[in-house]
Structure 1
């Protein structure tokens, strides 16, 4: 990640922040964070600045194209050329299939699908501005989920959105390859976030995994950083499942 300028959507907490910190440790010098929580953005940016990074933040509603693109542009104006976009923002509700309302479907689709799409469009438009400069390439990494491939109770709408993001990843990879923009996704199984601990499914996941444990967030972040880094020179349109042997796709 040496000299990479990155934007992480959903970067104020959770896997997004873990990824941001790991990227800074690996040499990313400029980091942009986009999130809807201004208070978390402020505290997270101070953590990254203390690690030596230049940080820019934007509060944005990524479900709307105008505000999503404005957030990306605000950060690019401050940091300059953006090499890498990581889409880590998502909502994870739980609801039996017969009880999911239209409002819940709309919100889930708006954040997890449309929000990811809007940020990818903003990144591609920006990165295409550096075409024909061989030293410049772009990387987009979307965070999906094993739920896109394996059914679990009470999250049909979440799983459907993550399957859609896998499809979006492949479509963007096809259309952006000629521009030197590599687009991939990483699909984690459940890992030890505060939210996962609260929901209580980690012990069951650990029993069902070949490794017999749930992952730590940094173990997922390692794969995001790998796909986003200059070490990735050939993978595009790929979805990497990281599940500790919970699922084989």
Structure 2
């Protein structure tokens, strides 16, 4: 794969400042795309854009995408900065942990706002932008938690199951417009946040492949779905969980 494979392609990535999001941003830039990162972390945005090579390769848009108006404005700013958007990657998310019987309305709403509502609003904005061009790719990050129960993750799992369901609905409605919509359900990913939870070693041992995913492992799967090499997959969720879930 040459570095110019994505030359001329414009990609909007939510939550692209760190972890999987930055791995995605780096991979698309490495393959020749120009990237617009939407993130609530203004300082992190500036640093990420600099690390990606500056404004000729990446731009940052600060925004809170949990509500329709702000999400649509953020997407519009990102698309305008790029000239247009060919691809949307819905990566923004939070990974809260709380026993089910202790999940209050505030925790529930916040989890669904970031992990599901934002994905919906951004996908609508992207669809409206892409329809006149009769082409586009939308890829969202779900989770293997949508398939199997984990203690303290009920609200997160429910939101990610919603991502999978919405992916199918968007795919069905947007197929006539030439827009392919898919998702990826990763297993545990090696990030500072995961290591801070103190469950890294247990997760690695319980994974059939014997390790937690590097962010680049998942980024490559997302990349394929977003690329022109994917010509016939839509409405699908690819499980990339190291064998934890085999469906």
| Contact 2:144–2:185 (CA under 8 A) maintained in structure 1 | yes
1:83 aligned residue: 86
2:242 aligned residue: 244
1:185 aligned residue: 183
Find out whether 1:42 has 2:40 as its counterpart: no
2:3 aligned residue: none
| Contact 1:31–1:53 (CA under 8 A) maintained in structure 2 | no
Per the TM alignment, residue 169 of structure 1 is displaced from its structure 2 partner at its CA by 0.3
| Contact 2:144–2:186 (CA under 8 A) maintained in structure 1 | yes
Find out whether 1:104 has 2:107 as its counterpart: yes
1:220 counterpart (196, 215, 218) = 218
2:15 counterpart (5, 10, 15) = 10
CA deviations 1:29-49 (Å, max 9, x no partner) are x21000000000000011112
CA deviations 1:128-161 (Å, max 9, x no partner) are 1213xxxxx2000000000000100001000000
Q: May I ask how many residue pairs the two structures share in their alignment?
A: 242
- Structure 2 residues not aligned, in runs of 5+: 1-5
Aligned-residue RMSD, C-alpha: 1.1
TM-score (norm 1): 0.94
Per the TM alignment, residue 53 of structure 1 is displaced from its structure 2 partner at its CA by 4.4
2:35 counterpart (21, 31, 34) = 31
Find out whether 1:21 has 2:26 as its counterpart: yes
Task: State the alpha-carbon separation in 2 of the partners of residues 191 and 61 from structure 1.
Answer: 24
Task: State the alpha-carbon separation in 2 of the partners of residues 182 and 92 from structure 1.
Answer: 27
- Structure 1 residues not aligned, in runs of 5+: 132-136
| Contact 1:143–1:186 (CA under 8 A) maintained in structure 2 | yes
TM-score (norm 2): 0.95
Task: State the alpha-carbon separation in 1 of the partners of residues 113 and 53 from structure 2.
Answer: 31
Equivalences for residues 54-73 of structure 1 within 5 A: 54-73=57-76
1:129 aligned residue: 132
Per the TM alignment, residue 212 of structure 1 is displaced from its structure 2 partner at its CA by 1.0
1:114 counterpart (95, 117, 131) = 117
CA deviations 1:146-195 (Å, max 9, x no partner) are 00001000010000000000000000000000111000000000011001
